Amino acid sequence: MANDSDSKLNSLINTIKEALQNLVTLEIITAVGQVDFNAPNGPDLDTEKDPKVILTKINLIQGDVKTVYDPEFITGNYRELKDFHKTREEMGHQMIKDNLDALMKLFNLAKDLRSKTDAEA
């Protein structure tokens, strides 16, 4: 029974470590276009029908920020959506911070549980 608990605890710790390692790049996309209802992972943007997109990529380790705008968001019909995208960027930063905090709490809890389990063995 203890081995099963240890195995599950180690698996949880490894899953948390992996999640932390994968939190390197935050992508924020604002898009206007057709929806592909038959996409493999459920409804998604139909990239074959020329969507208009703002894409921001933020490297959380290096702090590098790249934003690409379709001209429609600068001079065309979708100018108002630039502010929407900016708000989403701000929300994304807070979401990442909250997720990192939660993952670190889980990781520390799992480490504490493993230490207690090791001490009892």
Q: What is the pLDDT of residues 12-26, one digit of tens each?
A: 878 877 777 777 788
Residues 6+ apart with CB under 8 A from 93: 26, 58
Contact by Cβ (8 Å): 31, 45: yes
Q: What is the Cβ-side half-sphere exposure of residue 74, based on CA atoms within 13 angstroms?
A: 6
Contact by Cβ (8 Å): 1, 9: no
- In the structure, what pLDDT confidence band is assigned to residue 36 with cuts at 50, 70 and 90? very high
Residue-wise pLDDT tens digits, 74-115: 999 999 999 999 999 889 888 888 888 888 888 888 888 878
Has residue 46 got a pLDDT over 90?
A: yes
pTM beyond 0.85: the answer is no
